[in-house]
Amino acid sequence: SHPLLCPPGIKCGGVLSAPSGNFSSPNFPGLYPYETECTWLIVVAEGSSVLLSFSHFELEYHDTCAYDYLQVYNGAARDRGNLLGTFCGHSPPPPFSSAWHVMAVVFRSDRHVAKHGFAAAYRKDACGGQLTGLSGEITSPRYPESYPNDAECRWSIGGAGGGGPLTLVFADFQMEGGQGCGFDYVALFDGPTVTAPGLGRYCGSARPPRTVSSTPHLLIIFKSDFNIGGRGFKAHFYSAGECQEVFTTIKGNFSSPQYPSFYPNNLKCQWSIQLPPGYRVKVFFLDMELEGRSSLTGGCDYDHLSAFDGGTENGSLLGQWCGRESLAPITSRSNRLLLVLHTDRNTAKRGFSISYVGVVPMNVSCTRTDFHIQIPVQSLAQLERNRIYLGTPSCAAQVVGRNFKIHTRFDTCGTESQRRNNTSVIVSTLYIDFSVGDQEDIHQYEVQCEPKRKEASVTLIAGPDPSRLSQAENLVDAQKWEGEAIDAREIKSQDTSDIVFISICILAGLLMVIAVVGLVLL
């Protein structure tokens, strides 16, 4: 038989809402039609998962499945963050268990070469299953209603191809308690079976701590006895090793999981930057594209990145962002800063790339003629004094007691006079050289003094590798003075206006000389 273009009346795709069922490619077991696209949406009772298996599979082969293919999605949305796999050729896909109560299957054929297609079966799994996605959600049976008595469920998570450790976070937890958790409990194992090392056994109403496996597999067992229940639990998992990180180095960079590819759905990732006392953290946003704002509220209700001062989510919120934004750098008020990425069940984007640098604690003061700079030695304990200098290496710091000190007159060390906001200021650059071997790493701070008022200030002007910062971000950073915005264009225009003013004065003087000479000659 010869394949045909899909006739208008042929059954292709649809919503499958029965507890179990079967579906297949059009014309199966005959050859499927050319230029066909079908989507099956499988929806079972909430709190359950979908078990999907294939009894026959034969599609046109291509090494990247670019021609005819079948895709399985973990949820309703057809976005790359939910994709469990793309398949073609003769090897059937493995059995799948969805991470929630919805699964989508998409079949597509092109205009050449048809095969016999596929036959699939699905059923509702009340609890447990083999979960292979990069991320997902699991709940106790009937959650948030009370779970049944005499239940036993096993969720085996792993084999997604990522190969990294798995993270499990409980969003809600309420079960029968008891000493030793002998009645109802959740048990976690660091591997695919109960013979693997235990990671904890939990009951009662206290949420279990965030758990990270040491292998690419995690086994979760839920068990209830014959009486007394509870609301149960809701947990998220993800296999993104770069999703939980702690940084203690003076500078660094990191990005969302799988950046610049689409990040997984259903994540809560945390990056904690913890620097020595006295330091502050300055964050540069190199690239950002998250799911956009809600059209209803105008807020970042779906996927968003938040920054908290002080290292915990209880700290003050420094900002929350979503969509595609070009952001100015932010600076913490303490030596700790926490960045948290939340993603929801659908619509993934490219994510973000971030660089940070520690702002060295220092005390800068000035008189009408001198700069005084003081930095605690313990903040730069690994540096020799000649690595800290003002303007030129010849103006290096001295060690006085527990501090690096620079005391210099305005007419030395590369200082220069400028006009900013119609005020004369003295400006120089402080260099702190963190370079190791061939890796150049010089941080620059602009120190400024207003001699009339004897007021000094300092601003980090270069920290992260400049090649990682776009020109626009450098401009934004150079114009931002720790809350006091100084417009570089304004400075430039003031300098230009000074030049124009001086030129007019010289020209007027010349004209006056010519006029006087003319009068004398007359």
Per-residue pLDDT tens digits for 311-366: 888 899 999 999 998 889 999 999 999 999 998 877 889 999 999 999 999 999 99
DSSP element (H, E) containing 503 = helix 488-521
Which residues are registered as beta bridge partners of 425? 418
Give the list of residues 6+ apart from residue 53 with CB closer than 8 angstroms, or none.
Answer: 95, 96, 120, 121, 122
Per-residue pLDDT tens digits for 438-464: 888 899 999 999 999 999 999 888 654
End residue of a domain, out of 329, 359, 389: 359
- Residue 383 in contact with residue 389, Cβ under 8 Å? no
| Count of the separate structural domains present in the chain | 4
- Provide the whole-model pTM: 0.54
Domain-located, residue 346: yes
C-alpha 62/C-alpha 307 separation (Å) is 44
116 and 30 share one domain: yes
329 cis-preceded (ω within 30 degrees of 0) = no
Note down the domain range covering 175. Answer: 130-239
73 and 28 share one domain: yes
Q: What is the pLDDT at residue 520?
A: 56
Q: What is the CATH number of the domain that holds 398?
A: 2.60.40.3210
- 3 state DSSP class of 386: helix
Give the list of residues 6+ apart from residue 275 with CB closer than 8 angstroms, or none.
Answer: 248, 250, 281, 335, 336, 358
Q: What is the CATH number of the domain that holds 65?
A: 2.60.120.290
- 3 state DSSP class of 302: coil
Residues in the chain predicted with pLDDT less than 50, given as ranges, are 1-7, 464-501
Q: What is the pLDDT at residue 517?
A: 57
Pairing of strands 403-409, 398-400: antiparallel
Q: What is the pLDDT at residue 208?
A: 93
Residue 206 phi, psi (nearest 5): -85, 130
Domain-located, residue 118: yes
C-alpha 132/C-alpha 162 separation (Å) is 10
- 3 state DSSP class of 92: coil
261 and 349 share one domain: yes
Short-list 195, 341, 168, 187, CA closest to 268: 341
Residue 448 phi, psi (nearest 5): -135, 140
268 and 327 share one domain: yes
344 and 410 share one domain: no
Q: Where does 377-454 show beta strands of DSSP type E?
A: 388-390, 398-400, 403-409, 416-420, 423-433, 442-450
DSSP state of 180: G
Domain-located, residue 373: yes
Give the list of residues 6+ apart from residue 3 with CB closer than 8 angstroms, or none.
Answer: 27, 31, 32, 33, 34, 114
C-alpha 399/C-alpha 420 separation (Å) is 33
Q: What is the pLDDT at residue 4?
A: 44
Domain-located, residue 81: yes
Domain-located, residue 271: yes
Q: What is the pLDDT at residue 134?
A: 65
Pairing of strands 152-158, 129-131: parallel
Which residues are registered as beta bridge partners of 359? 280
Starting at the edge strand that comes first in sequence, how are the strands of the sheet with 317-321 ordered? Answer: 244-247, 268-274, 336-342, 304-309, 317-321
Domain-located, residue 4: no
Q: What is the pLDDT at residue 462?
A: 63
228 and 268 share one domain: no
Short-list 476, 435, 485, CA closest to 284: 476
Structure tokens at 353: 């790339």
Chain-centroid distance, C-alpha 358: 19
H helix intervals, 180-256: none
- Residue 222 in contact with residue 244, Cβ under 8 Å? no
Q: What is the pLDDT at residue 169?
A: 83
146 and 86 share one domain: no
Q: What is the pLDDT at residue 80?
A: 67
